Structure 1
Amino acid sequence: MNAQSPQGPTRFGVFQAPFHVMGISPTVHFERDLQLIQRAEELGFQEAWIGEHHSGGHEPIASPEVFLAAASQRTRSIKLGAGVISLPYHNPFMVAERMVLLDHLSHGRAIMGFGPGQLASDAHLLGIDTTKQRDMMLEAADVIVRLCRGETVTVETEWFRLQDARLQVRPYSLPTIETVVASVASPAGPRTAGQLGLGMLNLAASSPGAFEALRNHWSIVEKEAAKSGAQVSRENWRLASIMHIAETEDQARKDCEYGFEEIWGYLGQISPMPKSTATTLNDKIDEAIESGSVCIGTPDTAIELIYKLTEQTGGFGCFIMNLADFASPEAKLRSIELFAERVIPEFRGQLDPMRASNRWVLGAKTEDDETIWKAQTSRAIEAATASYQG
């Protein structure tokens, strides 16, 4: 990008809904999810996110707060995001209580994420009207934000009632817990973020409808923030995309023989994606890539996507790899390693000075086409030898 281009992300994270293949012990899945967060921290990722789901079999974590509390005891620096808590499923006072506890257990590394709830089947289990979920999210989010800021709240809605509610323990983080609201294509997320002065997390940023919506999402946030007098920043805007990368595109596709068809078939049944007409694995992968719904390829593919998202949005603060069991656990770990090796330093500006230093050292030549540094080293050795012999 040139000097006039939007600011690309300088922070990076991993997101696990998680999307797991069937037929494996949930205990094993959970342990691998925890190990992946540990490895992400070792590789320099700044954030790890866990989702909340209650049906479908492929997304087995019911409480991101409980799971992240376990992760907090295995890690030291990576921030831990609830991505996201489905607010219509919970009394907002209890959400605030649990997140404050996580904030203390992690010594200020908790990030609170809000959403209306993704799975209609989850809402069905709880007897919730899916058409009301976004309004319910806004009502609960307002209360949670106020509680975490130290306010006493008395409020009555159609689905919850609080009386002189106040937290007996304040957040570890000052002045409050960092908070984001989830968004895909509808204006509900950016509206809530702007009204309450929160960050925003776009969980499927490269999918067709979501990618187009990105062009206007931040303007909605700023417009709503101006109305409410809240302060917002693009640095608190996070974009996620389902991603698997390998050393070559052929290897990335081969990796996807492990679980792509199973996971992609599941996603096609629970989300408003166009019906697939593909029959072979390669055709299904092609269809998913061409639609923008997934990024499968190499580190260069990932870099290209992040630049594309940067131009589309006008700039954002953090990019998050949305991980799924397209590939085996070993290949998935290699994917995040490659991302840390090749993609993160591209945007954090870590490679350019090293390349410049390399060009400077190797480019300073003598008449004999050797570097001047080699010549100087040779002369120093000769001088030391002559001094010793003399």
Structure 2
Amino acid sequence: MAMQCGVFMTPYNPPERTPRQVFDWAVDIARICDESGYADYMIGEHYTLGWENIPLPEAVIAACAQTTKKLRFAPMAHLLPYHDPATLAIRIGWLSQVMEGRYFLGVAPGGHHTDAILHGYDNIGPLPPRQLEVLRLMERVWERKPFQEKGEWYQAGFPGPDTMPEYWVELSNNNPYGGRENLEVAVTALSMNSKSMEFAGSRNYSPISFFGGTPQMRAHWDTWASSMEAAGFKPERKRYRVCRDIFIADTDAEAKRLFLKSGMMRTWKHYLKEIYVKFRLFDGIIADSGVDITPENIDEDFLAEHVVLCGSPETVIEKLEKLADQVGGWGQIVANQHDSLDDPKPWEESLRRLATEVCPKVRMPDLETA
């Protein structure tokens, strides 16, 4: 099976972009990905981050449904502690039916301090146990059996014969398309010792790994696979998605030139580098590179050579195959989206070439036996 490709719309548009600009850009990129043969399109959910300003991924998904035919979509991820569980369960099910199967679900507790403050929390510490309660109540709603429950933090229920008014109400079926058992749920991970991968494996959720070097990738897979097996599930590498920054052009030199003046470079320079330095997310990448450099001194050349898959199609294929040999295979490479509104053509061309010239040619380990 050829490696699939996807896009992660974080969205990484700079803060001066208006919500309408971000929205239209997201819809346009989805159209390009659908035409090019991408499998999945994932959209972040954040409430306060100027560089990641999509607080309503469902709106983007609904709009994209009108201009795409095959591409699957997911909120990646709904930050569950910030939602009413019954309302979210119904909206997820309804939208998955609208999409007629072109929908899967991402869940997370929320990892940004400012989003937590907006929702009345002092920090992100209290969020993980709340996520579990939201999930449990959502699953109960999807069972469509009468209940009423007040949990520790949330409440939900489902109506039945004993809770009808003085007349009969025909209940709508807003369960996930094809039944709950056919709804894929996915979870992202970034840090080396990711509790998210343990959580995902214990529930048979799919893993999505943001790249932080080969030690981190091995840790993500090992944690997820071990947790899957402990819960009685079979881990399959074809379910594993890996997120990378990717920039493709005719030659290595041209790809580097275009990357250095791209929105991707701007994101790293003005936003991501500080985050990666603060949380030591460069450490594994530096170890892989063999370059004697501190995270604070990472420059444009290091980003182009070791952080971004930057080069000709042949070079990107070579880098992906080397990574697969080091850490094992995966089913989908996910390109992180970056703002290119000022000069969209090179970015759009890079996206197309990933799907048409790179993914079909990458030699992966046998995912059926890995």
Q: What range is the shorter-chain TM-score in?
A: 0.7 to 0.9
From 167, 175, 179, give the equivalent of 1:170: 175
CA contact (8 A) 1:9 1:319 kept: no
**1:277–1:347 Cα change, 3 Å:** closer
Residue 188 of structure 1, aligned match among 188, 191, 195: 195
The residue type equivalent to 1:18 in the other structure is P
CA contact (8 A) 1:142 1:196 kept: no
Q: 2:261 aligns with which of 257, 262, 271?
A: 257
Matches within 5 A, 1:247-326: 247-255=250-258, 256-264=260-268, 265-271=270-276, 272=279, 273=281, 277-278=296-297, 284-289=299-304, 292-325=306-339
Equivalent residue letter for 1:317: G
How far off its partner does 1:301 sit? 3.4
Q: Specify the SS of the correspondent of 1:254.
A: helix
From the superposition, tell whether residues 134 and 305 of structure 1 become closer, same or farther in structure 2 (CA, over 3 Å): farther
1:251-270 Cα deviation digits (max 9, x unpaired) = 22332314345311212344
Q: In the superposition, relative to structure 1, how do residues 20 and 131 fare at CA in structure 2: closer, same or farther (>3 Å)?
A: same
1:229 maps to a residue whose letter is G
Name the amino acid aligned to 1:119: H
Alignment size in residue pairs? 333
- Cα distance in 1 for residues equivalent to 2:327 and 2:137: 30
Question: Once the two structures are superposed, what CA deviation does each residue of 1:125-149 show, in whole Å capped at 9, x if it has no partner?
Answer: 2123312333333443344455446
Change (3 A) 1:325 1:178: same
Tell whether the 8 Å contact from 1:103 to 1:173 is kept in structure 2 after alignment: no
Q: Which residue of 2 aligns with 1:13?
A: 6
- 1:200 counterpart = 2:207: yes
Alignment partners' CA distance in 2, 1:42 and 1:57: 30
Q: Unaligned stretches of 5+ in structure 1?
A: 1-7, 350-390
| Cα root mean square deviation, aligned | 2.9
Structure 2 CA distance for partners of 1:222 and 1:153, relative to 1, 3 Å: farther
How many Å apart are 1:297 and its aligned residue? 2.4
Q: Provide the secondary structure at the position in 2 that maps to 1:130.
A: coil
Instruction: Give the structure 2 partner of residue 234 of structure 1.
Output: 237
Taking structure 2 as the reference length, the TM-score comes to: 0.79
Q: Is the 8 A contact 1:244 1:295 kept in 2?
A: yes
SS at match of 1:296: strand
Q: How big is each residue's C-alpha offset from its partner over 1:34-82, in whole Å with a ceiling of 9 and x where there is no partner?
A: 1111111111111111111112322221111221011112111111121
Bigger radius of gyration: 1
Identity of counterpart residues, as a percentage?
26
Residue identity opposite 2:336 in structure 1: N
SS of residue in 2 equivalent to 1:288: helix
Partners of 1:334 and 1:35 in 2: how far apart?
13
Report the TM-score, using the length of structure 1 for normalisation: 0.76
The 8 Å contact of residues 202 and 227 in structure 2, kept in 1 or not, is answered as yes
* Counterparts of 1:168 and 1:76, CA distance in 2: 24
Deviation of residue 336 (structure 1)? 0.7
Question: Contact (CA 8 Å) 2:321, 2:363: kept in 1 or not?
Answer: no
- 8 A contact 1:119–1:270 mirrored in 2: no
The whole-number CA distance in structure 1 between the counterparts of 2:322 and 2:263 is 27
